[in-house]
Structure 1
Amino acid sequence: MLDSTMDPQLLHRAASAYYLDNLRQAEVADRLGVSRPTVSKLLTEARRIGMVRFEVLDVSGPDVTDLEQRLRDLLGIDRVRIAPGDQREREFRGIGDLLGEELRRLELRRGDVLLISSGTTTRAVSRMPGMPELRGVIIAPTVGGQQESDPVFQTNEIVRNLADRTGGDPRFIFAPALPSPSLWRSLQADPSFVGITDLWARASVLVSGIGAPYSSRESLTSVVPRDDPSLRDAVGDVCLHFYDADGNTLVYPGSDRLVRPSAEVLRAIPTSIALAAGRGKALSIRAGAKAALFTTLITDAPTAEAVLADTESEQG
């Protein structure tokens, strides 16, 4: 949803006349019957809210279309979208734009369920302008996290951000990511929690991040044990499902009580969109595809090249 106090129809008419019809601002003012300064304000506002977007491509960047095809073939997934340049330096702007395009393509309807996970990338894109209108679409979290101090792991807030941007219908989990055994038993009979698990089971779309290898993680939710031997071989995670290089999911202390959809539920979601950027996530991406935890990958060119290079190096 394009959030502005200005008339959206007037914004659209001004932006279309200036950027699509190539009229000068004075001509736009005559067409709309407003002043020249008003046109300038309308165009500035249209850019601010994402109604008008610009992309500056790297001059010597790789052929993104070719990269997408090669990476899709390597990973064996349905779709790959690649943003040019290092998206970490651009605050994931290009990844957010591509996510918006993918969500538009899916044409979600009222009552459909979209799940979103916690993480640095999902938090960043949830606050970006330019997302499609998802009015009536239910947006729900995949993990608990009320006790987390780091906003990256506050999944309810990420849900609220995306709902505010799209006009979606937010739902929340009022539970920590790792409840005590007694609270875990109580949650199984709690109507609000059962309502969330029902949404997990009928979700149409999942938007998640891909965690970096466990040993190199700079940011980690407080419920995952640090330096635990059972996670020594973890090369990545999706929705707190950690996996090794062969895509085998790993069990660790407390994982049986984590508030999250099961791996089987995640694999049953028709469209699972994973977002990842950073050369250090090359193995995380490859192993996550082996684990069948996502059907679509949105990444950037340097990360895609790293995944392909690592594979070629292994093959000798």
Structure 2
Amino acid sequence: METSQERTRLLVKISTLYYMDGMNQQEISQRLGISRPQISRMLAAAKAEGIVQINIRNPFSEEQTYERAISETFGIKDVIVVHVPDADRPMIDMQVARAAAALLENVIRDRDIVGIMAGRTIASVGREFNPVNKKDVQFVPLIGGWGSEGAAWHANSNTRIFAEKLKSRYLLLNAPAVVASSEARSHFLNEKEISDVLDTARKATVALVGIGQVSEKSAIVQAGYFSRGEIGEARASGAVSNICTSFLNIAGERVTYEAESRMIGLDIDDIRRIPNVVAIASGSDKIEAIGAALRARCMNVLVTDMETAKRCWSGIVRTLFRKAGPGCDR
């Protein structure tokens, strides 16, 4: 009994020195004359026996509930849910962009090739991106230029923003995203300068992509990249989501669509082959598009906001209840 009590007394002393007094294991070892490996074992025993109980004050518990549920359902590495109570849409979008920028700052490694998509959301991430000390990183656009209205957030413009922040090399894709015919597309792809950029994009180790909805409100229409008639045809073909040059239906399947044969950039299969794809999307108009992209299993991380995550998960639960497979719906 006394031996047990003295052991407990020692475990308490070591735990107090370590957790309360801030001493490291080597310092405790020198003070008490006990070997460092033994100190480590005794600290582990103190936790196992309940002498040490660690409580984490988690202000992000609700967000993490949805993060875990969505990531486990769709088998992706991580979901980042940003919660900004009582904020308007511009503020929410800015915080989502900041979260994606912070993630990217930690994801990018030395000698990475980073593929960058077009779009206002991606441009916002670029503005929030902070310089980090990385060596031999190269940025490359994933798609050609959109219409003149979207020049400020072309893939080339977005690529330049990130590269200049990091003082890194970057390539530009001097071709439109969509051309008049498949023959014209072949002509562009036969240009070595263009094909070399696309080959580099396919070798990307990290990619930042947006998830576009298929509607007249989509960035590809507002940029003049697609007409309202063309986006209507895509919708009529079953498309609800757009990533780079590919359109997806609600099941996450690639939709065969005539305009894709006229697009210059990476397609969904190319995106799937990139080891680390970060997708960013938020807002009620993106629920259906996000669901399709999740089903397509073309991303490793999704960054979104709380309300979008809630509505997305609500759709998943309803779909699972109907035994029709996981997904998001309006």
Verify same fold: TM over 0.5.
yes
Residues 254 and 270 (structure 1), Cα distance of their counterparts in 2 relative to 1, 3 Å cut: same
Q: CA shift at 1:153, angstroms? A: 4.7
Match of 2:90 in 1: 89
- 8 Å CA contact 2:105, 2:130 repeated in 1: no
**Normalising by structure 2, what TM-score?**
0.70
| Aligned-partner Cα distance in 1 for 2:277–2:256 | 22
For each residue in 1:222-273, what CA deviation from the matched residue of structure 2 results, as whole angstroms up to 9, or x when unmatched? 3434334343222111113111111111122321121111222111000111
Matched ranges for 1:46-85 at <5 A: 63-85=62-84
Counterpart-to-counterpart distance in 1, 2:155 and 2:273: 21
Measure the CA separation in 1 of the matches of 2:121 and 2:88. Answer: 10
Does the 8 A contact of 1:277 with 1:303 survive in 2? yes
**For residues 175 and 107 of structure 1, what CA distance do their matches in structure 2 show?**
27
Structure 2, unmatched stretches of 5+, are: 1-58, 323-330
Residue aligning to 2:113: 113
Q: Counterpart amino acid of 1:194? A: S
Task: Decide whether aligned partners of structure 1 residues 61 and 103 sit closer, same or farther in structure 2, where only a CA change above 3 A counts.
Answer: closer
Matched AA of 2:101: G
**Aligned residue for 1:229?**
233
Specify which of 310, 315, 318 is matched with residue 305 of structure 1: 310
User: Per the alignment, do residues 136 and 88 of structure 1 end up closer, same or farther by CA in structure 2, a change over 3 Å counting?
Assistant: farther
More helix by share: 2
After TM superposition, the structure 1 stretch with the greater mean CA deviation from structure 2, 212-221 or 120-129, is: 212-221
**Maintained 8 Å contact 1:116/1:159:** yes
Report the Cα offset of residue 70 of structure 1: 1.1
* % same residue: 20
Judge conservation of contact 1:87–1:277 (CA < 8 Å) in 2.
Answer: no
**Structure 1 position 218, deviation (Å):** 6.7
Structure 1 unpaired stretches of 5+: 1-59
Structure 2 CA distance for partners of 1:267 and 1:77, relative to 1, 3 Å: same
Cα deviation digits, residues 185-205 of structure 1 (max 9, x gap): 332332211211211221101
Check the 8 A contact 2:212/2:219 in 1, yes or no: no
The total of aligned residue pairs comes to 257
The partner residue of 1:293 within 285, 289, 298 is: 298
Partner AA of 1:205 in structure 2: V
Give 1:146 shift: 5.9
Cα separation, 2, equivalents of 1:183 and 1:229: 21
Q: Secondary structure at the match of 1:81?
A: strand
Paired residue secondary structure (2:71): helix
Q: CA deviation at 1:62?
A: 6.4
Give the aligned partner of residue 208 of structure 2.
207
CA distance in structure 1 between the aligned counterparts of 2:148 and 2:258, rounded to whole angstroms: 18
Higher RCO (Cα < 8 Å, 6 or more apart): 1
Q: Structure 1 CA distance, aligned partners of 2:134 and 2:305?
A: 25
